[in-house]
Amino acid sequence: MNVTRYAKSGDLSIAYQLEGNGPLDLVVVPGIVSHVEAFHELPGYSRFIERLASFARVITFDKRGTGLSDRGADAPIYEQRMDDVLAVMNAAGSERAALFGISEGGSLGAMFAASHPDRTRALVTFGAFARVAWAPDYPIGIDREILDQGVDASVEAWGTGASLGLFSASRAQDKEAQTLWAKVERLSASPGGIRSLIQLIHEVDVRCVLPTVKVPTLVLHAEGDIFPLEISKYLAEHIPGARWVELKGVDHYPWFGPVDSLVAEIEEFLTGVRHEPDVDRILATLLFTDIVGSTARAAELGDRKWREVLDQHDAIARRQVERFRGRLVRSTGDGILATFDGPARAIRCAGTIRDEVRRLNISIRAGLHTGEVEKRGDGVDGVAVHIGARVAALAESGEVLVSATVKDLVAGSGLCFAERGVHELKGVPGQWHLFAADL
């Protein structure tokens, strides 16, 4: 068995393994549960990894909250899991890798590829989705009542191997496989943990991210997968230039089914890649802030004292942006523009800046939007920048106002929001649903 290593992601340790020494790195982003050691006991898994390792250096890992990786205090969110992918890549010495996202790992892979195109060579998904739950604008999703019933049934039977049929229809009646899968269930997550993880998946919605994925993408799906073809095909239809391939088989986890045909598709796609991603365009969360009533406050204090207040404000903003791992793009005189690769961090940064500057007897408002931006030297440009500025302009004093895009991307983070209605943004087409973060 391969050696299990650990990468540090913040305060947590993320378990990973390496296999092969091919010319390209391939990070396997697992589905809802995994166990880098126990998975090798499952039928087909070791051969699957060995086949991938015939042309790539394969990096497998357990996402935080599962397998041999640390459990956090709360249910993980996507930006933390992106941090985990980066931590594993860094620990493995991988500057740039192709991502192979399985099931829920495909959603995470898409978000990572859009946010970190400089670290992503290509994206391959299998049995993946942008969203699971039905919505008025997503009729191919699964009804919430059915999903909730599935959560309860899965949790009640967790540890018995009963969920094997969901992950492998072809092995559902295989008693030996069920016994092994029961062991994997117990080792990879607790009943309470699996409930949180399933509920998180039911809240995932990365549809807005798909058009910003600019790396070569291959979307694979087994014809008899538990998830309808339409859910996976949605990825291919909304990721620019993505290739769609429907495979024979009925299994949701790929190694349970025909391994050779699957790996052949992946190998052909990855070893034929010639185009570099456009790293000048990335997915980012934009944070705009400005001081409320700055003109009146400046007149009240006078130029010298007002300059001192602005300097302290700028120092607080710089410190907090750095703390929350953002990038300060520019000061706007009485506010800032900063970018983040994680929307939850951006929201919490805005709330912290707001609270910190109160001791200066000033109040700020903040607006956030997530979208594709074009990097121009040290600055950023694009429609997303204009949207972020318009959202900030509508915020009340002390308010952190976000677009629906931002709200959707922080599902499971524990952040709460209050409705602020539908608005027209000056110079931006359409109507925009806005929410105030409760911080």
**pLDDT per residue as tens digits for the range 123-146:** 999 999 999 999 999 999 999 899
CA–CA separation, 432 vs 435, rounded Å?
10
- Does residue 228 lie in a domain region? yes
Higher-pLDDT residue of 72 and 368 is 368
Domain endpoint, select from 234, 250, 271: 271
Q: Look at 76 and 94; give whichever has higher pLDDT.
A: 94
Residues 267 and 343 in one domain: no
Residue 77 CB contacts under 8 Å (≥ 6 apart), including other chains: 200, 344, 410, 411, 412, 413
Which of 215, 241, 271 marks a domain boundary? 271
Q: What is the mean pLDDT of the chain?
A: 92
pLDDT band at residue 74 using 50, 70 and 90 as cut-offs: confident
180 and 68 co-located in one domain: yes
Return all residues near 305 (Cβ < 8 A) that are at least 6 apart: none
Tell me how far apart the alpha carbons of residues 438 and 416 are, in angstroms, rounded to a whole number.
5
- Could you tell me if residue 134 is inside a domain? yes
Residues 245 and 296 both lie in one domain: no
Tens of pLDDT, residues 282-325: 999 999 999 999 999 899 999 999 999 999 999 999 999 999 99
Task: Tell me whether residue 120 is in a domain.
Answer: yes
* pLDDT tens for each residue of 177-236: 889 999 999 999 999 889 888 888 888 899 999 999 999 999 999 999 988 899 999 999
Per-residue pLDDT band for 275 (boundaries 50, 70, 90) equals very low
354 and 300 inside one domain: yes
Per-residue confidence (pLDDT) for residue 177, from 0 to 100: 86
What pLDDT was estimated at residue 435?
97
Q: Is the pLDDT of residue 1 over 80?
A: no
Question: CA 86 to CA 64: how far, in whole Å?
Answer: 13
Rounded CA separation 316/327 (Å): 14
pLDDT digits 0-9 by tens, 24-59: 999 999 999 999 999 998 988 998 999 999 999 999
Q: Are residues 191 and 136 in the same domain?
A: yes
Tokens of 384: 């997303």
Q: How confident is the model at residue 429 (pLDDT cuts 50, 70, 90)?
A: confident
Which domain covers residue 314, as residue numbers? 281-438
Q: Are residues 58 and 181 in the same domain?
A: yes
Residue 248: inside a domain, yes or no?
Answer: yes
What is the maximum alpha-carbon separation in the chain? Answer: 80
Q: Do 210 and 298 share a domain, yes or no? A: no
**Residue 273 pLDDT exceeds 60:** no
Same domain (yes/no): 253, 292: no
Average pLDDT over residues 78-103: 95
pLDDT above 50: residue 253 = yes
Confidence of residue 274 (pLDDT cuts 50, 70, 90): very low
Domain annotation covers residue 276: no
Say whether both 259 and 396 belong to one domain: no
- Structural domain total, the chain: 2
190 and 154 in a single domain? The answer is yes
**CATH label of the domain that carries residue 412:** 3.30.70.1230
Is 141 found in the same domain as 251? yes
Out of 141-150, 272-281, 314-323, 338-347, least confident range? 272-281
Residues 287, 335: Cα–Cα separation, whole Å: 10
One domain for residues 335 and 236: no
Does the predicted TM-score (pTM) go above 0.75?
A: yes
Of 271, 294, 317, the residue at which a domain comes to its end is 271
CATH classification of the domain holding 52: 3.40.50.1820
